[in-house]
Structure 1
Amino acid sequence: MITLIVGIGLLILGYFVYGSYVEKNFQIKPERVTPAKALRDGYDYVPMSKSKNAIIELLNIAGTGPIFGPIMGALYGPVAYLWIVLGCIFAGGVHDYMLGMISLRNNGAHLPELASKYLGKPVKHVVNIFSMLLLLLVATVFVSSPANLIADITPSWMTVGIITALIFIYYLISTVLPIDKALGKVFPIFGAILIISTIAIGVSLLFSGYTIPNLSMQTMQNFNPEGTPIFPALFFTISCGALSGFHATQAPMVSRTTESEKEGRFTFYGMMVGEGIIAMIWAAASMTLFDGQTLSGMINAGTPSAVVNEVSIILLGNVVGTIAIIGVIVLPISSGLSAFRSCRTILADYIGMKQDKIKKILLVAVPLFAISFVLTQIDFNILWRYFNWANQVTAVIALLVSTRYLFLKERNYLITLAPGSFMLYACIVYILSQPIGLQMGLTPLTYILGAVLSLGVLWLFWVTGLRQKNALSPDSQLLNDQWPIKTLRKNNEASELGK
């Protein structure tokens, strides 16, 4: 119990202390006109309130990630708490804030455009591929998981296939709506369900007489019943709730609706902390109610949705527990919708197709839905492994973009370089060792080769950064946060963007 309470307290403290430092290091300009106002188009660029943006950001980034990930991460025991707390404060929160704010300074540009600007044009094509792959995997995972959850609490005739089709129909309808109608109207309701259900699970866990595992010298070990090593697996199992590249695809969407830079810390860093709290509660509940063998059996038998059902019913009873399950269901549905929306806009930007008419929107969206529907036929656990790898590679790219931004502006870039370097090493070791990669296994050679390759990437990153910085003039767009004026839509406020 103590670890859970202290962990949540540290997450909140991290928002006020480290989050404030990150904001100060970025150097916000509250008077600067944001893309929501300068590029207002009534569809993607629409000014919305701080509270709406925050709840949309939370629901966009949450999905089943901060629930399914910690459930599977609970197999490792209380050590999972460490990654959630430290990862959220020093990696995930920084990642989300920096990417959201850099996008805000660049007309709401998505990660591929930002990678092109700060890392070089050739990188843009690689990042486009990774971003769209990640978003398609996210969207598919976040269709499959709620479909399974809904099937567990509905009549037998309501099959997973029928539910999947209904979710896709909802996505298709929502895709052609302006963002303030598609997300702004329903997400506050979804957010209320999520927050209430999460609090209910947490309070019941604390006051129902259960012994919640604590982190101590005795429990600081690997409890995984299958013996899977903590590194690098834990850092891919728990991504949402600690560090997730998927967030880098969502923050730019919210940066297009943000009215002031001073809202950034609450919207981006703060909602990451909120996701970390959700992750702590579900990790604690899974460790408390099930031993490792039982938990592993439930997960391997299908998806972690079985654990969600059991936890909710045990802690809250049939009626309230079902409401809590609904709270979990709305997470992936909302994130799946935003994943498709982001994937559509990234692809449209890449091929140069303006999304100003329904026909053009559907021309991009429908093929993406079709691909995702085919992917839903693949085993969930296989999808999850590929999702996690693509997810963390994207996080590394986002952290390197953020590092280059801070480096060029001569600010403290270690706040992004440190977590970026760690996760780069984890990604390389993962792809060298795992079945989805080179299948070398976790041998000393794998770790050494991973270190050599990581240092090589970082050396190249450093050399190109120095070259880029030396070539810049004092009035460079890179140094003054000005996107090329030709990309701005005609608007009577556009001239204010450079303030």
Structure 2
Amino acid sequence: ADIPEVTDGLQNRQTNGLPLFPMLFVSIACGAISGFHGTQSPLMARCITNERQGRWIFYGAMVVEGILALVWAAAAGSFFGGIDGLQAFAAEHQGENIAALVIDRISRTWLGKVGGILAIIGVIAAPITSGDTALRSARLIMADFMHWDQKSTWRRLLISLPLFAVVFGMTFVNFDVVWRYFAWTNQTLAAFTLWAATVYLYKAEHADGKTSNSPRNGYLISLIPALFMTMVSGSYILIAPEGLNLPVGWRWLGYAVAGCVTLALFIVFCFWAKEYASRKTVDERL
């Protein structure tokens, strides 16, 4: 079956009165670029034996997740006949978990009982493992900056129990609201991570006072998306309903403020890079 969103072009540029930019780049988060995946570093650093394995683990996981997102988006578009059919289905089931209902309906209709059960188990496994790794990473991050050894059980519990309490409290909050803030913080964290990676790559390129074996201008691979995601995160929190919710006539101000912040960070980086490259000795670069 045709997928109208692909075959008919991108006609839907406004969703509930909200602009495509930056909403699209926050709504479609994990499969595109994810700060949440970056938080897994405390776990992965303890599991991998070589830094080069990070490409397969982090980048590979994001590519696979992006493919899965496209598969489900295509399936929903084809199954319901487009966005209108999907919205009609959602209207019929207001107050229910629409995502779960969509997955259940598609899986059982196309794959039968056995295939449907397997597909649903696969979908359920994703949030369960995400929650598990999120809590583990949070505990390890807190332990690292508090310099708390985690070999003893009671020290793990001292950090874990407050985290469990916070998570339990969040279960009483509207999930849609929690998800929106998570999506924004996810992309904001991605922006911070990209800036940190940019500094790291620039330092690696100029580690010995002259160009090292690192790719020339390799830091651009993270600098460009860092600028983009800074603009996305900044404008989103100013325009989105869960943020400052600027009126339609004032959205230009949100874009202007986010643009100025992005430009300011770029200028600061340029001055820092120039000053860092001028340092002559290794000691001066530390």
> C-alpha displacement at 1:319, in angstroms?
2.8
**Which one of the candidate residues 382, 385, 390 is aligned to 2:177?**
382
The separation in 1 between residues aligned to 2:273 and 2:184, in whole angstroms, is 26
Letter in 1 for 2:144: D
1:312 aligns with 2:90: no
Q: Work out whether residues 222 and 229 of structure 1, in 8 Å CA contact, stay in contact via their aligned partners in 2.
A: no
1:248 aligns with 2:38: yes
* DSSP-derived class of the 1:374 partner: helix
1:430 aligns with 2:236: yes
* DSSP-derived class of the 2:6 partner: coil
TM-score normalised by the chain length of structure 1:
0.50
The separation in 2 between residues aligned to 1:340 and 1:426, in whole angstroms, is 27
1:421 aligns with 2:227: yes
Output aligned runs, 1:7-406, within 5 Å: 210-213=1-4, 215=6, 218-222=8-12, 226-290=16-80, 291-296=82-87, 298=90, 301-303=95-97, 304-406=99-201
User: Which blocks of at least 5 consecutive residues in structure 2 are unaligned?
Assistant: 206-215
Query: Are residues 435 and 212 of structure 1, via their aligned partners in 2, closer, same or farther at CA, if it must alter by over 3 Å?
Result: closer
Letter in 2 for 1:388: A
Letter in 1 for 2:231: Y
Match of 1:25 in 2: none
The separation in 1 between residues aligned to 2:13 and 2:101, in whole angstroms, is 21
> C-alpha displacement at 1:465, in angstroms?
4.0
Provide the aligned C-alpha RMSD in A.
Answer: 2.3
The separation in 1 between residues aligned to 2:15 and 2:229, in whole angstroms, is 25
Deviations 1:392-431 (A, max 9, x none): 0000000001111111223421111111111110111111
Query: Are residues 271 and 225 of structure 1, via their aligned partners in 2, closer, same or farther at CA, if it must alter by over 3 Å?
Result: closer
* DSSP-derived class of the 2:282 partner: coil
Query: Are residues 294 and 380 of structure 1, via their aligned partners in 2, closer, same or farther at CA, if it must alter by over 3 Å?
Result: farther
* DSSP-derived class of the 2:55 partner: helix
Query: Are residues 223 and 447 of structure 1, via their aligned partners in 2, closer, same or farther at CA, if it must alter by over 3 Å?
Result: closer
Letter in 1 for 2:68: I
Deviations 1:357-381 (A, max 9, x none): 0010011001100110000110111
> C-alpha displacement at 1:255, in angstroms?
2.6
Deviations 1:243-272 (A, max 9, x none): 110011013411321123443332232222
The separation in 1 between residues aligned to 2:30 and 2:100, in whole angstroms, is 16
Match of 1:155 in 2: none
Q: Work out whether residues 238 and 245 of structure 2, in 8 Å CA contact, stay in contact via their aligned partners in 1.
A: yes
The separation in 2 between residues aligned to 1:319 and 1:310, in whole angstroms, is 13
Q: How many residues align?
A: 268
Letter in 2 for 1:461: F
Match of 2:266 in 1: 458
* DSSP-derived class of the 1:356 partner: coil
Query: Are residues 476 and 332 of structure 1, via their aligned partners in 2, closer, same or farther at CA, if it must alter by over 3 Å?
Result: farther
Aligned residues with identical type, % of pairs: 40
The separation in 2 between residues aligned to 1:310 and 1:462, in whole angstroms, is 52
Higher relative contact order (CA 8 A, sep 6+): 1
The separation in 1 between residues aligned to 2:280 and 2:77, in whole angstroms, is 53
Deviations 1:309-367 (A, max 9, x none): 12211221233212210111111111110100000011111222111100100110011
Letter in 1 for 2:123: V
* DSSP-derived class of the 1:355 partner: coil
The separation in 2 between residues aligned to 1:260 and 1:463, in whole angstroms, is 33
> C-alpha displacement at 1:470, in angstroms?
4.2
Match of 1:157 in 2: none
> C-alpha displacement at 1:435, in angstroms?
2.5
> C-alpha displacement at 1:300, in angstroms?
5.8
Q: Work out whether residues 347 and 364 of structure 1, in 8 Å CA contact, stay in contact via their aligned partners in 2.
A: yes
> C-alpha displacement at 1:227, in angstroms?
4.2
Letter in 1 for 2:200: Y
* DSSP-derived class of the 1:233 partner: helix
Query: Are residues 450 and 300 of structure 1, via their aligned partners in 2, closer, same or farther at CA, if it must alter by over 3 Å?
Result: farther
Q: Work out whether residues 238 and 244 of structure 2, in 8 Å CA contact, stay in contact via their aligned partners in 1.
A: yes
* DSSP-derived class of the 2:49 partner: coil
Match of 1:166 in 2: none
The separation in 2 between residues aligned to 1:286 and 1:367, in whole angstroms, is 39
* DSSP-derived class of the 2:140 partner: helix
Q: Which moved more, 1:363-372 or 1:261-270?
A: 261-270
Match of 1:495 in 2: none
Q: Work out whether residues 276 and 285 of structure 2, in 8 Å CA contact, stay in contact via their aligned partners in 1.
A: no
Q: Work out whether residues 434 and 441 of structure 1, in 8 Å CA contact, stay in contact via their aligned partners in 2.
A: no
The separation in 2 between residues aligned to 1:242 and 1:385, in whole angstroms, is 16
Query: Are residues 362 and 468 of structure 1, via their aligned partners in 2, closer, same or farther at CA, if it must alter by over 3 Å?
Result: farther
Match of 1:449 in 2: 257
> C-alpha displacement at 1:476, in angstroms?
7.0
Query: Are residues 421 and 447 of structure 1, via their aligned partners in 2, closer, same or farther at CA, if it must alter by over 3 Å?
Result: same
